[in-house]
Amino acid sequence: MQNLKIDWIFLLLLIILALPNNAEASAPIVSISASVNTSEIIAGSSGTLTVIVSETGGNDWIKNPEVTVQASSPDIAFPQISQTVSRIEKSSSNTFYFSFNTKKTVPSGTNNIQITLQYYEMDLLNIQTYGPFYKYSTISFNIRPSVGSLYIVSTPSSAELYLDGAYKGVTPITIPSVSTGSHTVVLKKSGYNEVSKTINVENDQTTSISEILILQAGSISISSNPNGADVYLDGNYKGITPIIIPNVPIGSRTVVLKKSGYNEVSKTINVEYGQTASVSETLITSAPIYNSGQNSKSASVSLYGEKTDVVMGENVLLKLSAINIIGNPIMHVQVIIIPPNGWSVTSSEFSKSGAGQFTTIYDLKPEDGSRDIEVQIMPNQIGDNFEVKGRIVFYFGDDISTKEDIPLNLPIKVRKEPGQTAPAGSADVPVKAPGFDMISEIIGLLLLAIILKGKR
């Protein structure tokens, strides 16, 4: 009986060994499926690869399945590239998760991950191991660049913009498709301090920058002898001397000093950053204009003395004349008369405007020809060297930029009596009768003779 049992076992072994392939008789059916957590990954971000290994209907389980992954780009990195389990049962599956990171430099577009599965099989009796066997799969997904945009403005505008050292244009400006992360923005404009700023660009966001540029400026201190000269800086009126002009842009600047009765002074100076440039000028008296006019390119103006040698109590009579040349627009004229200190203008057309100045304003059309204004001035003292100062300021139409300012001066004499003059500014002095000194001397001699005769 025991021998019969041994025979049956031996017969069974023979049958098993007679089969064509024990592994094939019990081989599991293995499949791989894979997916990425999103179909599009933003460059610089991370993702997750999911791999499912399944036994889908074979006669045996899967032994020691090991999944290995490898990306097509070196800019895609897996912290863990391989995972394994001891077995996967029949009609079962196991899920493997692989996280990965992408660099901002990863190529945009389609990227691939290669998946390799290594596993083993068992014979019918689970005694002998066969393998290893391999299966392969590839998963594709899309990489999109991580970008935002920049919007940059400056005060003043038209500043040159450099992004990470590369010129991009002038402000205001929008720069699209800027890679996310830290960037350096530099603003440059001639005459202003350079601005450098580090900014952070976020994905799909617009980063706005607004900068006020600091003027590279100095100042100018201007004085004149005498004071009260009109100051023009680069053609723009700034006030009267003495004056300090702040916030003057650096570089070459032109200072012009004007004062009625004095020659105009023009000087070019260099203004340095944070420094004060100084201008100090002595004005030279201009030659007076006697009974003659001045011609500009567009008009003729003059100041005539009809009666400038007067006796105290008489009016000084002057005539101001302006001619608008044919072809011009309407001429807007302002006449200013500055008599000697204490004198007054008695003409009805003039009104006092303060500080001893008298003024009138009128319009003159070309077809009107000329306009003459008589000026009567009442002196209050005698002298030879008085001076009446005049100014005619005019422009044409609505363009005030054509304004011209012409000084006109006349000397005046004021006498005590006709044919008699007195020093300028002298007071009224009583005049002695003719021969009075001689009579006094005779009377004195007679008194002396009487005294001497009495002593005898």
pLDDT in tens, 224-283: 999 999 999 999 999 999 999 998 999 999 999 999 889 999 999 999 988 999 999 999
Q: Tally Cβ neighbours within 10 Å of residue 244.
A: 13
Average pLDDT, the chain: 81
pLDDT of residue 5 exceeding 70: no
Q: Which domains, ranges and CATH numbers included, belong to the chain?
A: 2-144 (2.60.40.3880), 147-212 (2.60.40.10), 217-282 (2.60.40.10), 293-415 (2.60.40.10)
- The answer to whether 217 and 162 are in contact (CB under 8 A) is no
Each residue of 321-350: pLDDT tens digit?
Answer: 777 777 678 888 888 888 888 787 887 778
**Structure tokens given for 302:** 């003059």
User: Is the pTM of the predicted complex or chain greater than 0.95?
Assistant: no
Under a CB-based contact definition with an 8 Å cutoff, are residues 55 and 90 in contact?
yes
CA dihedral over 420, 423, 426, 431, signed as positive or negative: negative
CB 129 within 8 A of CB 120: yes
> Which pLDDT belongs to residue 435?
41
Distance, first Cα to last Cα, the chain: 218
- Identify the bridge partners of residue 68 per DSSP, sorted by sequence position: 82, 116
* Residue whose pair of structure tokens reads 């006697």 in the numeric block: 290
